[in-house]
Amino acid sequence: MDEAAKALRTPPQMCSYAEKHNLFQLMQNMLTSLVLEQPEDPISYLISFLERPNQERPQVMLLGPPAVGKHTLAKRLSAELGAVHVKAASLLQSQSGPSRGSEGGSAAVLVQLLQERLKQKDCLHRGWVMEGIPQTRLQVLQLQEAGILPKHVVMLETPEDVLLLRNRGKLLDLITGDVYHQTFIPPDDKAVALRLQPGRGLSDEQLLAELHRYRCEVTALKSAYQHVLQVVNGNQHPADVYKHALTFVRTGSHFRTPRIVLLGPPGAGKSHLARLVSQKYKVVDVSCDHLLRSVAADGSGPGAEIQPYLDDGLPVPDSLLLRVLETRLSRMDCICRGWILHDFPQNLQQARSLQESQHQPNRVFFLEAPDDVCLERLVLRAMDPVSSERCHSVTRPAPNTEIQNRLRTEAVRQRLTRFRICSAALQSVYPDGVHVDAAQDPRSVFQVLESRLYSR
């Protein structure tokens, strides 16, 4: 049974071909359109679908609490992208007859109206920017059942006190429908300023009640759209909010199985960043150092060859290392979910060997940090290269002088020097690699990587 299962492994070339020709996204787009339009003749419909000139239509959802600026951002994005601005209020106003009722009934009415709107030619050909929909977990489920799946979700977040201030000073241009604020978003045009009227905002009590309802649902919204979600700080100048949202929305929406390589000096935070990416995107965290120790501990096959090098503190030959790495990256979890690799490659020859294999990375990140930052991190928190035990100079100091000597600053400097020597050669192999300032806090580094993970 085990031998048969091994024989059925999916070849890595299949995923590479599918990504090169954008087949995953094409299949998703076709299935979504079939569910939305439900044509009588699916085959003829799919043929006409493939003949459409623009398959990369924007499908964006803007979420956030009341008074956070969704309307202003939606108008700017839809104008920039040439997409249709879709609002719940407009849909419900077009509904004849009662639209209120139970939460489930009201949500069902909204989803039905939304389905009908998205079937219209302008949405099909230009795409859409959806403002403030969905608002609840129930609406999310009904949208998913209806096949309404966004490619990008932007969620604005702003402190409660700021939302209260924004709500109190709202101004409305009755001609254009644009929303301004006497403090946060004043108009640049004097003629516009003269015709502004106080907007009909919620009372403080109503706003707080709406905020409470939103807070109860926001975790479910984030969970439902976590793989296409970007949280943007709405408590900044509208131009900056727009820039961050537009940058995210313009990232490639086509599916790409992550094959990520993290390069950088020791102490740059590669292991921590790999763990964050693995936890959120479910890709396989492949540390070359951990992989070698794991295979060696197994004691059979390549493990028996690797162990003597680890015992003597010598580097494992590239031919043996690559054989182990090739085996790991060929497993189904790596092929189906993708992987994030660190501790390899470390020099020009290793990088070239990886490029010549069947497992070329499609994202390479260079984590850049000065030596003093790396030294501070490594000396404070270091791993014994012999026992693999982690030590901390404050909370978990080395148990004896022998281990402490192995963690000395001079050894750290040697590792840094080796990386600096090879850095230029690695950059020559990966000229399109993304350079990230790794001296900043880990969450900021993660956000930078995340914003480039699916970009073209």
Same domain, 174 and 278: no
**Which is higher by pLDDT, 113 or 377?**
113
Same domain, 283 and 393: yes
Same domain, 91 and 230: yes
Same domain, 342 and 281: yes
In this structure, which amino acid lies at residue 401?
T
Q: Mean per-residue pLDDT for 87-109?
A: 65
Q: What's the confidence (pLDDT) of residue 101? A: 44
Q: What's the confidence (pLDDT) of residue 100? A: 43
Which of these three, 195, 222, 249, is where a domain ends? 249
Residue 347 and residue 422: Cα distance in Å, rounded?
Answer: 5
In a domain, 13, yes or no: no
Q: Mean pLDDT score of the chain, rounded to an integer?
A: 83
Same domain, 197 and 273: no
Same domain, 106 and 231: yes
Q: Determine which helix (DSSP H) or strand (DSSP E) holds 80, and give its type and residue range.
A: helix 70-81
Q: Mean per-residue pLDDT for 303-321?
A: 90
Q: What's the confidence (pLDDT) of residue 421? A: 93
Q: What's the confidence (pLDDT) of residue 197? A: 78
In a domain, 97, yes or no: yes
Which range has the worst mean pLDDT, 126-130, 132-136, 395-399, 405-409? 405-409
Q: Is the pLDDT of residue 332 over 70?
A: yes
Count of the separate structural domains present in the chain: 2
For residue 33, name the pLDDT band (cuts at 50, 70, 90).
confident
**Which is higher by pLDDT, 388 or 188?**
188
6-10, 27-31, 196-200, 444-448: range with highest mean pLDDT: 444-448
Q: Is the pLDDT of residue 5 over 70?
A: no
Which range has the worst mean pLDDT, 125-129, 157-161, 256-260, 365-369? 256-260
In a domain, 84, yes or no: yes
pLDDT tens profile 210-229: 999 999 999 999 999 988 89
Q: What's the confidence (pLDDT) of residue 56? A: 72
390-403 b/e (C-beta count within 10 Å ≥ 16 → b): ebeeeeeebeeeeb
Same domain, 220 and 341: no
For residue 426, name the pLDDT band (cuts at 50, 70, 90).
very high
Which residue segment(s) compose the domain that 340 sits in? 259-287+336-452
pLDDT tens profile 268-292: 999 999 999 999 888 999 999 999 9
Same domain, 407 and 387: yes
In a domain, 156, yes or no: yes
Share of the chain above pLDDT 70, in %: 84
The three-point CA angle 273-274-280 to 5° equals 90
In a domain, 107, yes or no: yes
Q: What's the confidence (pLDDT) of residue 129? A: 96
Which of these three, 223, 249, 275, is where a domain ends? 249
Identify whether the C-beta of residue 269 lies closer than 8 Å to the C-beta of residue 439.
Answer: no
**Which is higher by pLDDT, 56 or 190?**
190
In a domain, 445, yes or no: yes
In a domain, 70, yes or no: yes
Q: Is the pLDDT of residue 187 over 80?
A: no
Q: Mean per-residue pLDDT for 435-446?
A: 91
For residue 11, name the pLDDT band (cuts at 50, 70, 90).
low
Q: Is the pLDDT of residue 62 over 70?
A: yes
Same domain, 225 and 276: no
Q: What's the confidence (pLDDT) of residue 7? A: 40
Q: Determine which helix (DSSP H) or strand (DSSP E) holds 292, and give its type and residue range.
A: helix 288-298
Q: Residue 266: which residues within 8 A CB-CB, separation 6 or more? A: 374, 378, 412, 415, 416, 419
223-227, 429-433, 448-452: range with highest mean pLDDT: 429-433
Residue 411 and residue 241: Cα distance in Å, rounded?
Answer: 45
Q: What's the confidence (pLDDT) of residue 1? A: 40
For residue 409, name the pLDDT band (cuts at 50, 70, 90).
low
Same domain, 234 and 281: no
Q: Mean per-residue pLDDT for 12-27?
A: 72
Whether cis (ω within 30° of 0) applies to the bond prior to 134 is yes
In this structure, which amino acid lies at residue 37?
E
Which range has the worst mean pLDDT, 37-51, 356-370, 375-389? 375-389
Same domain, 195 and 62: yes
In a domain, 331, yes or no: no
Residue 162 and residue 173: Cα distance in Å, rounded?
Answer: 22
Q: Is the pLDDT of residue 430 over 80?
A: yes
pTM: 0.56
Q: Which of 374, 372, 364 is closest to 428 using CA atoms?
A: 364
Same domain, 130 and 244: yes
What CATH number does residue 410 fall under?
A: 3.40.50.300
Residue 156 and residue 67: Cα distance in Å, rounded?
Answer: 10
Which of these three, 203, 225, 249, is where a domain ends? 249
